[in-house]
């Protein structure tokens, strides 16, 4: 870990971010970071509360002369996505993030950085501790488990928040203001299989796909990146027919909301077909590299001979699984009619896992139109059910409908133009933000989302641009100073 990060400007924000990188905080494991944040608020002598779900609110009074301003809720989530490269030894429940400065960026060595949403949390903490700022009443609101189901926002009840304006700091492009987001829903399929003895006279292979960029399954879905699950499955499906390949296991992806960048399958092929199979894999590698050459230059599909597994998946289940995974769509389904540059509806296959006689496939549907999200989820469910899988929908959350007449939007547009000489772009994001769930409980909140520039969130290539963190901070404190009167 490079402590040089703490010397970057603004110093208070970067100091807090550094401290967050030292605390393991994968989703559903936020106990340590929650204790850290509560202790931070109490040390400052500020009112600090935790609700039954684990969300934390820290209140800071207005500075003198700003008591009549609307209360700003500075909101971020405490958890981070735990993703790493296969060759990196890192335990997200025990080890700190090994972050460092790389030119104009801060990134981490082989793991996610946690700038999503550590930057928003660190900024709120910096506002709480900086008594030189001018602002109205502040509520710093920290939610839990955003990345694996928005548990904190789902558990929010009336009475915890008192503010007027929700400022979500979980967006990832500086100079852009977000006033709406997509809703989401998981569709999860589980295949139960019979274990059969691996046949004699076969050769076993580990089939790998690696070198993909991965990324956020909402923000990056329009980029056409390769999905390790789909790439490996295509090979398995073809080889099952051409070479009598039989699968023992298939694993790829760690979290539902990231595009899988690596994966592997263990399979056996009759000795008589081994040479043809190995040649096919080489040809297939060249085929998919050619198809994805402009977006995935690092992609490699390869095989390694391994010891024969004791058991394989029964043939009927294998056929159903591979056909269903092949047939389920993956990627952008439609664009917003009035904003053709914005994705309206998409789906991403995030996880496949073989364990204890079951194979689980997790997909995530997103849409700014709830009926289309449901329709797409049902389409995928129908495919899996026809293939004999037990299928369910989980974790559905609403979108956030944009309000182009939002007062905080107008204020922030004016502030940005005044301070930086241009009007910020106003957008709707194809990702899940907690604003929709929070506004479902507090419908009168005026809401907006913004943040510094973060690239490749939810992947080990995640990085945050140093220069934009300074602009993000300046924009935040200028906005707080200009909050409207009640």
User: Residues 406-419: pLDDT tens digits?
Assistant: 999 999 999 999 99
Reply yes or no on whether 79 is catalytic.
yes
pLDDT tens digit string along 17-33?
A: 999 999 999 999 999 99
- Quick one: pLDDT at residue 210? 96
**pLDDT (0 to 100) of residue 285:** 98
Q: Across all residues in the chain, what is the average pLDDT? A: 96
* % of residues, the chain, pLDDT over 70: 100
pTM of the model: 0.79
Higher pLDDT, 453 or 427: 453
Catalytic residue among 30, 70, 145, 146: 146
66 pLDDT more than 60: yes
| Helices and strands (H, E) in the chain, number of each type | 11, 23
Q: Which residue has the higher pLDDT, 74 or 1?
A: 74
Whether the CB-CB separation of 76 and 170 falls below 8 Å is answered with: yes
Domain covering 185-397, topology:
Alpha-Beta Plaits (3.30.70)
Question: pLDDT band for position 140 (50/70/90)?
Answer: very high
- Band of residue 340 on the pLDDT scale cut at 50, 70, 90: confident
Q: What is the mean pLDDT of residues 378-392?
A: 98
What pLDDT, on a 0 to 100 scale, did the predictor assign at position 100?
96
Asked if 220 is an active-site residue, the reply is no
pLDDT at 315 over 90: yes
Whether the predicted pLDDT of 425 surpasses 80: yes
pLDDT higher than threshold 80 for residue 339: no
By three-state DSSP, how is residue 119 classified? helix
Looking at the predicted structure, is the pLDDT value of residue 1 above 60? no
| Residue 4 tokens, joined | 């040089």
The one catalytic residue in 79, 164, 172, 462 is: 79
Residue-wise pLDDT tens digits, 275-289: 999 999 999 999 999
Predicted local distance difference test score (pLDDT) of residue 353: 98
Same fold, 3-182+399-481 and 185-397: no
pLDDT of residue 161: 97
pLDDT of residue 377: 98
3-state secondary structure of 474: helix
Higher pLDDT, 341 or 134: 134
Amino acid 36: pLDDT: 98
- Indicate whether 205 pLDDT > 70: yes
Pick from 259, 343, 251, 226: nearest CA to 81: 259
The domain over range 3-182+399-481 is classified in CATH as 3.40.630.10? yes
Statement: residue 484 has pLDDT above 80: yes
Domain ranges in the chain are 3-182+399-481, 185-397
Query: What per-residue confidence (pLDDT) applies to 149?
Result: 83
Rounded to an integer, the average pLDDT of 427-450 is 93
Tokens standing for residue 116: 């999503």
Q: Name the β-bridge partners of 311.
A: 197
């Amino acid at each position: 870990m490079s402590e040089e990060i703490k010397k970057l400007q603004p110093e208070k924000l970067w100091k807090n971010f550094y401290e967050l990188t030292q605390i393991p905080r994968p989703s559903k494991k936020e106990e340590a970071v929650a204790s850290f944040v509560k202790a931070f608020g109490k040390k400052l002598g500020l009112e600090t509360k935790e609700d039954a779900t684990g969300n934390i609110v820290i209140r800071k009074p207005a500075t003198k002369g700003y008591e009549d301003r609307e209360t700003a809720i500075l909101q971020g989530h405490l958890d981070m996505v735990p993703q790493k490269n296969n060759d990196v030894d890192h335990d997200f429940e025990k080890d700190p993030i090994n972050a460092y400065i790389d030119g104009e960026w801060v990134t981490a060595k082989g793991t996610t950085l946690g700038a999503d949403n550590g930057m928003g949390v660190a900024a709120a903490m910096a506002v709480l501790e900086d008594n030189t700022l001018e602002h109205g009443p502040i509520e710093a609101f920290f939610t839990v488990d955003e990345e694996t189901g928005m548990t904190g926002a789902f558990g929010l009840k009336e009475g915890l928040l008192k503010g007027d304006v929700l400022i979500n700091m979980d967006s990832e492009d500086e100079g852009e203001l977000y006033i709406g987001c997509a809703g989401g829903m998981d569709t999860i399929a589980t295949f139960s299989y019979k274990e059969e003895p691996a046949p004699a006279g076969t050769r076993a292979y580990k089939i790998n796909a690696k070198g993909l960029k991965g990324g956020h399954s909402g923000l990056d879905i329009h980029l056409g990146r390769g999905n390790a699950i789909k790439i490996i499955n295509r090979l398995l499906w073809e080889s099952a027919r051409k070479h009598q390949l039989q699968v023992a296991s298939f694993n790829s992806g760690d979290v539902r909301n990231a595009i899988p960048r690596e994966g592997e399958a263990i399979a056996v092929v009759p000795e008589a077909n081994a040479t043809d199979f190995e040649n096919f894999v080489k040809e297939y590698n060249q085929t998919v590299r050619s198809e994805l050459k402009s977006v995935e230059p690092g992609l490699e599909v390869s095989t390694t001979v391994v010891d024969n597994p004791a058991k394989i998946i029964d043939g009927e289940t294998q056929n159903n699984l591979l056909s269903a995974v092949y047939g389920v769509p993956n990627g952008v389904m439609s664009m917003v009619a009035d904003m053709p540059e914005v994705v309206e509806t998409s789906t991403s296959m995030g996880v496949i896992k073989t364990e204890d006689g079951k194979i689980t496939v997790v997909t995530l549907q997103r849409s700014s139109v709830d009926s289309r999200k449901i329709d797409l989820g049902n389409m995928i469910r129908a495919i899996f059910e026809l293939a004999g899988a037990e299928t369910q929908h989980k974790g559905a959350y609403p979108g956030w409908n944009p309000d182009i007449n939002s007062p905080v939007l107008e204020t922030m547009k004016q502030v940005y133009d005044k301070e930086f000489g241009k009007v910020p772009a106003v957008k709707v994001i194809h990702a899940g933000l907690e604003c929709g769930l929070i506004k479902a409980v507090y419908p009168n909140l005026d809401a907006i989302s913004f943040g510094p520039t973060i690239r490749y969130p939810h992947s080990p290539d995640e990085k945050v641009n140093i220069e934009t963190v300074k602009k993000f901070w300046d924009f935040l404190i200028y906005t707080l100073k200009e909050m409207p009167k009640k």
